[in-house]
């Protein structure tokens, strides 16, 4: 039993355990012997054993997994046990042992079902590591689990040496539905998670799962985010977050979310993905005067890209956008005005000159006249365009003010 019976006794009390045993809810206890080979399976150590036969030439032990198919080991002459690793059993499995002796082959099967009422096992089980040192797991009660169901989580390292019992449960109306761990020193890179259950009313099925600590880590946001700007750009810098796994800086990915303050959620907001570096930095082109902005950063493992939470926004840029934009717009408008006036004046003078000295009519003059008309149109168009620009600038100033 992965979850030792002693623990169950301690946790659920003697009475409940007695009910549990009489109800045959021994989910993962050592299964009773079966005929001449007397196969037994200890789920705590994942060891399948059988009675040794004399003059054995070859033995094979097989675990038939409903989803993953058979897992088979061939054994040397004298061995009469084998240990399975990296396999989940909640779907129910079948064990098979073939022993070849000088007197023939002995072959035996032993079903290992997930005993208990169907649909009582914990479901939606997941775990994640955060803050480098903590892990939270959560699950939901099985849909057919009785009201008095209680679940227990234990975690075993991949070598089956160490059992960690959940030290702190989160509860929902008295039922354990989550676990919080603050000491991950006992975990290896791959671990076996087992949720067993007890109830006075019905047998509770177990749920088990194999999880890689490397795949379930959610990175903290980067720390110490700083922004320094000069005339043309802003340099964003941040510190790699502390993680449970030991990772190279190149294994990190970051997302920078640059956000203009007081703007619509998706207007001018950009998300930039950056590879981790020894010295994490990003040059954001941004020329003065710049509006007030903020940047948030989050991190992930580049292989998995499950993003951690965003950092708190770090603000940069100036708040006095009105004054800074006035610095640009006022000279621009004045310039436009002066240009328009000068052009208008020149144009008028041209027309007056033509009136004073009308050209002597000739045959070819019609063409000239036409070109003049065209010129006029062009000038007028230009003047109108200028006027438009002028009006637009005024509008912009009004909007800003
Ligand atoms: C089967 O094995 C168990 C434990 O290994 C032992 O207690 C039992 O006596 C064995 N039964 C037979 C029939 O060999
Ligand atoms: C095992 O082999 C030896 C000699 O090879 C033989 O004497 C003995 O009877 C055999 N035992 C069985 C159970 O077959
Ligand atoms: C559990 O997961 C299933 C899908 O896998 C979902 O439909 C269901 O709502 C989840 N239940 C809970 C209680 O989270
Ligand atoms: C992890 O679980 C603990 C205990 O339930 C809770 O206080 C904490 O907020 C959880 N952390 C996260 C990141 O969900
Ligand atoms: C964490 O657990 C290990 C054993 O799993 C233990 O040796 C160590 O003292 C614990 N550390 C803390 C801070 O509790
Ligand atoms: C944050 O970064 C600045 C500049 O890079 C450095 O001076 C400061 O010591 C850092 N603070 C921490 C807590 O790392
Ligand atoms: C702004 O800083 C960057 C480096 O961060 C530098 O390459 C650039 O020349 C600087 N520009 C000005 C105008 O100082």
Rounded-to-integer distance, Cα 11 and Cα 138, Å:
19
Domain closes at, from 278, 295, 319: 319
Query: Do 314 and 227 share a domain, yes or no?
Result: yes
Determine whether the shortest distance from the Cβ of 104 to ligand 2 is under 6 A: no
| Ligand 1: residue whose CA is nearest its atom 3 | 33
Structure tokens at 8: 């169950």
Rounded-to-integer distance, Cα 370 and Cα 293, Å:
56
246: burial class by Cβ within 10 Å (0-12, 13-18, 19+)?
exposed
Q: From the centroid of its chain, how far is CA 80?
A: 45
Rounded-to-integer distance, Cα 274 and Cα 295, Å:
14
- Edge-to-edge, what's the strand order for the sheet holding 40-42? 40-42, 47-49, 81-83
94: burial class by Cβ within 10 Å (0-12, 13-18, 19+)?
middle
SS3 157: strand
> DSSP character for 191?
E
| Ligand 1: residue whose CA is nearest its atom 5 | 40
Q: Rounded to the nearest 5°, which phi and psi values hold at 387?
A: -60, -40
Q: Report the pocket of ligand 5 as residue ranges, CB < 6 Å.
A: 183, 185-186
Helical packing angle, 321-356 and 365-400, nearest 10°: 160
| Ligand 5: residue whose CA is nearest its atom 13 | 183
- Identify the pLDDT of residue 64: 93
| Ligand 5: residue whose CA is nearest its atom 5 | 186
Beta-carbon-side half-sphere exposure of residue 222 (alpha carbons within 13 Å): 30
Q: Does residue 85 sit within a domain? A: yes
Query: Do 54 and 97 share a domain, yes or no?
Result: yes
The rounded Å distance from CA 224 to ligand 6 centre is: 6
- Using the structure block, give the residue that is written with the tokens 């088990």: 208
Q: Does residue 217 sit within a domain? A: no
Structure tokens at 17: 């355990």
Nearest atom (ligand 3) to Cα of 140:
13
Query: Do 301 and 360 share a domain, yes or no?
Result: no
Q: Rounded to the nearest 5°, which phi and psi values hold at 256?
A: -105, 130
Q: Does residue 295 sit within a domain? A: yes
- Identify the pLDDT of residue 43: 85
- Identify the pLDDT of residue 340: 58
Percent helix / strand / coil, the chain, rounded to 5 = 25, 35, 40
Structure tokens at 78: 């004298």
Query: Do 232 and 309 share a domain, yes or no?
Result: yes
Q: Which residues pair with 334 in a beta bridge?
A: none
- Identify the pLDDT of residue 148: 94
The per-residue b/e assignment along 52-85, b for 16 or more CB within 10 angstroms, e otherwise, is ebeebeebebbbbbeeeeebeeebeeeebbbebe
Query: Do 271 and 344 share a domain, yes or no?
Result: no
Q: Report the pocket of ligand 7 as residue ranges, CB < 6 Å.
A: 230-233, 235, 283
126: CB partners within 8 A, 6+ apart:
137, 138, 139, 216
Rounded-to-integer distance, Cα 158 and Cα 357, Å:
104
- Identify the pLDDT of residue 317: 80
Per the structure, how many domains does the chain have? 3
The rounded Å distance from CA 143 to ligand 3 centre is: 10
Q: Does residue 162 sit within a domain? A: no
CB 253 within 8 A of CB 280: no
Q: Does residue 389 sit within a domain? A: yes
Kindly report the CATH number assigned to the domain that includes residue 85: 2.60.40.10
Q: Does residue 13 sit within a domain? A: no
- Identify the pLDDT of residue 186: 83
Residue 350 belongs to domain spanning:
322-400
Query: Do 327 and 315 share a domain, yes or no?
Result: no
Q: Rounded to the nearest 5°, which phi and psi values hold at 182?
A: -115, 5
Domain closes at, from 286, 302, 319: 319
Query: Do 64 and 82 share a domain, yes or no?
Result: yes
- Give first-to-last CA distance, the chain, whole Å: 74
Query: Do 301 and 333 share a domain, yes or no?
Result: no
The one-digit pLDDT tens for each residue of the chain (401 residues) are: 444 433 333 333 333 333 333 333 334 444 433 348 889 999 888 899 999 888 888 899 999 998 888 999 998 878 899 999 889 999 999 999 999 888 888 899 999 999 999 999 999 999 999 999 999 999 999 999 999 999 999 999 877 778 899 999 999 999 999 999 998 988 888 999 999 999 999 999 999 999 999 999 999 999 999 999 988 889 999 999 999 999 999 999 999 998 877 666 555 568 899 999 999 999 988 887 888 888 999 999 999 888 999 999 998 887 654 444 444 444 454 555 554 555 555 556 545 455 555 554 444 444 444 444 444 444 444 444 444 433 333 333 344 33
- Identify the pLDDT of residue 286: 83
Query: Do 315 and 327 share a domain, yes or no?
Result: no
- Identify the pLDDT of residue 205: 96
Nearest atom (ligand 1) to Cα of 30:
4
Query: Do 340 and 298 share a domain, yes or no?
Result: no
Domain closes at, from 94, 112, 130: 112
Q: Does residue 303 sit within a domain? A: yes
Q: From the centroid of its chain, how far is CA 235?
A: 27
pTM score, whole prediction: 0.69
Query: Do 332 and 313 share a domain, yes or no?
Result: no
Query: Do 333 and 308 share a domain, yes or no?
Result: no
The rounded Å distance from CA 166 to ligand 4 centre is: 14
pLDDT tens digits along 75-114: 887 889 999 988 999 999 999 999 988 888 889 999 999 9
Q: Does residue 86 sit within a domain? A: yes
Nearest atom (ligand 2) to Cα of 55:
1
């Amino acid at each position: 039993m992965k979850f030792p019976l002693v623990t169950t006794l301690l946790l659920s009390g003697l009475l409940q355990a007695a009910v549990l045993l009489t109800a045959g809810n021994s989910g993962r206890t050592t299964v009773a012997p079966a005929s001449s080979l007397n196969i037994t399976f200890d789920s705590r150590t994942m060891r399948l054993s059988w009675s040794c036969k004399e003059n054995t030439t070859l033995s094979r032990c097989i675990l038939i997994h409903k989803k993953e198919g058979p897992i088979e080991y061939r054994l040397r002459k004298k061995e009469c046990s084998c240990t399975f690793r990296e396999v989940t059993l909640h779907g129910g499995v079948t064990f098979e042992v073939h022993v070849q002796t000088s007197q023939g082959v002995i072959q035996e099967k032993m079903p290992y079902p997930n005993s208990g009422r169907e649909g009582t096992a914990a479901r939606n089980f997941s775990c994640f590591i955060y803050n480098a040192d903590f892990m939270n797991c959560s699950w939901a009660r099985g849909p057919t689990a009785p009201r008095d169901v209680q679940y227990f989580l234990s975690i075993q390292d991949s070598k089956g040496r160490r059992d960690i019992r959940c030290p702190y449960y989160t509860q929902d109306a008295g039922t354990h539905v989550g676990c919080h761990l603050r000491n991950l020193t006992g975990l290896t890179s791959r671990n076996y998670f087992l949720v067993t259950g007890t109830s006075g009313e019905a047998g509770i099925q177990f749920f088990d799962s194999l999880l890689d600590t490397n795949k379930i880590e959610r990175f903290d946001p980067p720390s110490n985010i700083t922004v320094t700007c000069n005339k043309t750009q802003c340099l964003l810098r941040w510190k790699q977050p502390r993680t449970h796994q030991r990772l190279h800086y190149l294994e990190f990915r970051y997302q920078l979310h640059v956000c203009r303050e007081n703007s619509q959620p998706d207007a001018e907001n950009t998300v930039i993905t950056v590879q981790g570096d020894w010295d994490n930095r990003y040059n954001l082109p941004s020329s003065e005067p710049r509006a007030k902005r903020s940047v948030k950063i989050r991190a992930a493992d580049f292989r998995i890209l499950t993003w951690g939470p965003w950092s708190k926004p770090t603000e940069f840029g100036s708040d006095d956008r009105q004054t800074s934009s006035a610095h640009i717009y006022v000279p621009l408008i004045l310039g436009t005005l002066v240009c328009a006036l000068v052009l208008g004046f020149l144009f008028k003078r041209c027309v007056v000159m033509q009136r004073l000295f009308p050209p002597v009519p000739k045959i070819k003059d019609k063409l000239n006249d036409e070109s003049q008309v065209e010129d006029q149109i062009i000038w007028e168009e230009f003047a109108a365009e200028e006027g438009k620009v002028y009006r637009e600038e005024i509008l912009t100033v009004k909007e800003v003010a």
